[in-house]
Amino acid sequence: MHHPQFDITKIPQDTIMKCAKTMYADEYAEKAVNNPALFEEDIVPFIYLGWLYHNDLMVRNSDGWLEPKEGVPFNENDYELEDGGWNLDVTLSDHEIENLEPYLKGLEMV
């Protein structure tokens, strides 16, 4: 099955900023969106995660862990927690990914 390819450049700048300000304090959001290194590290992976989450590209595995559907490109190193390892439920909560739904649900990558 072919999954849509995520491309941050296809997301309108105002949508990116709304997502950033949902995830972070306004001041940091603006700094991160406008700084290429911070943008790649603190914005893109979490918008991608939100996009997957709100467009039915994630599933719960047999152990109850949230993970991308088979065949969806994903680098868990982008989501490593401060104490090591990764848990997407924690990441969703920490970055308020649930609240990105109005910006990312149904957002098509054409």
What are the structural domain ranges in the chain?
23-104
Under 8 Å between Cβ of 67 and 89: no
Reported in sequence order, the residue ranges of 31-88 that DSSP labels E, i.e. its strands, are 58-60, 66-68
Percent above pLDDT 90 for the chain: 87
Question: CA 47, 83, 76 angle in degrees (round to 5)?
Answer: 40
36-54 pLDDT, tens digit per residue, is 999 999 999 999 999 999 9
The model carries a pTM of 0.93
Give SS3 for 60: strand
79-95 pLDDT, tens digit per residue, is 999 888 899 999 999 99
The model's confidence at residue 74, banded by pLDDT at 50, 70 and 90, is very high
Could you tell me the two tokens for 30? 């603006």
Question: CA 13, 102, 89 angle in degrees (round to 5)?
Answer: 100
